[in-house]
Chains A and B, each alone.
Chain A
Amino acid sequence: MGGVRARNESAWLLPNDGTRTHHALRENMRTFADGDEVDVVIVGCGAGGATLLQRLARAGLRVVALDAGPFWDPDRDWVSDEAGSHHLYWTEPRVITGDDPVPLGSNNSGRGVGGSMVHYAGFTPRFHPSDFRTRILDGVGADWPIRYCDLRPYYRDLEEELPVAGERWPWGDPHGYPHRPHPVGGNGEVFLRGARKLGITAKVGPVAIANGRFGNRPHCIYRGFCLQGCKVNAKASPLITHIPDALARGAEVRADSMVTSIEVDQRTGRAKGVRYVRDGRPHFQRAAMVAVAGYSIETPRLLLNSASSRFPDGLCNDFDQVGRYLMVQGAPQTAGRFDAEVRMYKAPPPEVSSEEFYETDPAKPYKRGFSLQTVSPLPITWAEHVAAQGHWGRVLRDYMRDYVHWSCLGALCEFLPQPGNRVTLAQETDGYGLPVARFSYSQCDNDRLLMRAAQAVMENLLRAAGAGEVITIDRYAHLVGGARMAADERHGVVDADCRTFAVPNLYITDGSVLPTQGSANPALTIMAVAARAADHMAGGAR
């Protein structure tokens, strides 16, 4: 592991005395004045933004990352409780619409340093090589301007930095993981048993939870609250995997700073910096380069809210590409009832997965595929699953009393990118007076076929494992796209290096740039894309 520490010292910069935050590192952090022209200002300090910050700081650039939310201290700010974790989510107003509107809030993006990875589950699979060429291979989706092999070295590096634990991975580009697989709890046991019965290959992992001590990060205590923020520092999020090293290398993290627009010099067409609000006061941070990494909804919204005389329809939106091709994964969730006690709340929700159905199967009436994973909802989320069956009152309570007997799996179905699935601006404004995002989603036939196919496999699997009753609800997960990477400005917003076509010193380095999503959870790929963009930016791309 000496190699990792030399590249990224974060895990060794955390305290090893049972507390979780290196306060002195934050207090003594280098700071820049608004009028100081920094090399790069980054909007958003989540998966993409924090990775970029650490890489650029390592390269010696003067960088500051602004985040709308707080600079979390897991000891003080996070609780081992579902309802008490509401403050981790982005809960500013948003409007949803379309034929299949996608509920947001707790199920989507986060707010604060670390971004959505603070409360993500922790599955960190790679994309498959085919994900970068779905149009050529399958006639659907889009082809990326980069290939899998362009990301492979970044995947490998990041898997060591998080670090990722899991069995040797047989799918996509087969690879191993730096940490051994975790022992599984009841839900993982059920998944493995059912898969074995049906001859489906399932593997433990890949999860960004250290198996054993990693630097000063302790071992997971299998308490099951990964989606509420890990108070242990066992589960990876940029707050502990990239921010400490960035600070130690002279980067600034400016929390509680909501960016309201990106300013472009109307004469030169270059970005000058960002306007933001902190402590109720407007500020302007000057910068030689700007990178936006605010999540697939806030990034397009910020571009649209940064209209000017040069860009009357929104920044980088001359070809009406901003906000389009947003994708969610169809995430049907199937639960099965066992006479034995499963107690799925014990152990991390991310335990076991299968990518056996990931690729296009020519025998099937649909293109592309889905993956299967353990999900293990806690009581409130489980109640939503039961209530979604139409149960309420006494019947709902009776189902809920049975909680310890249920096992729960989720699929991630590769929904296809469609131009009409997009973010636009609503009439309504938020507390800063800015129009809020209006997010429209409608499924296509292929999407619906995948949902039903995944449901059938999960129900069979749980029955094979011995379940009596099985119940399924339709859900969605993981928004990506909205400012996609493409070969030219008529098909996307950024080029292969995440540089916007319209403004030469403006980059987008978050999940927004993904042209397709596969059926893998996106965080590792978002980090890999950001790390690759960092190499380009640090290489003197001004």
Chain B
Amino acid sequence: MTTYQCAKISALAGWLALRAVAAPAIEAPQKSGDLKSWLQPGNAAWQSLPESTVTMLPQNIAIPNLKNPVFQKLQVRAVVTNGWLCLRLEWEDKTRDAEVTRAMFTDACAAEFAVSGNGTDTSPFMGNPGKPVEIVHWKAIWQDDIEKGYRDVEHGYPNHYYDYYPLAKGKKADQISGPALMYNPGRYLNNPISQTQRKEPVEEIVAEGFGSATSQKHLDSRGWGTYQQNHWTVVLARPLSTPDPTDAQLKPGTNIPIAFALWDGATRNRGGRKHYAMWTDLKIGGK
């Protein structure tokens, strides 16, 4: 990034960080019940919790911008249960996009925390150098990887035919290993994006500014999403406290800043081409 771009971004980020206080607060009351049931987006207990509406805006600060936004708002409910914070994100999306071919992208959402717990010292736009943010990121394609098996060439291109892959035991993802991975450098290098054996549809990211997002090796968070009647409902859950120094530590009875992002696969949202929300106050229930 050039000096000029940096200067422009930090000026804007400072201004936006100050504005954070104005947004309506999200309440996360403390409730009983096990994590497994709260992880179900359709669990009726969610309906009894207060709902907040968060305004979503097109990302137009860092290059590349999102030109044609499709989401204006996001409904958020939150709960604290058994040492976990669960966030239920619901938004209207006319198409379910999870298959990834060369020209398609996946739907996705994310919640962001300031690692310091202080929203005035870091930017909701991927943090600032030395002032990291932690992001819990869910993708529709990861959900499908777990529910239906790794989404692969044969799913994007069902009639595709290829004789064989050199040194592989077969054509399925799990039959391609060892020396055969020389033709799959992303997998060979353990790029987290190339993981074929995902356990959770979420990952944790730490970032200190645009372009610096890095997947955390240690995953504490969980998640689950469902798509019904043109709506995605996704639960993101993370322990209040974690052993990870690059995670935010959440204390019951405090207010912390939280921000969100949404991606629409159908209109080719990815990376910085996304919808974002500013810092909002999250009231963490309990003592």
A binds B: no
Which residues of B pack against A, CB within 8 Å?
none
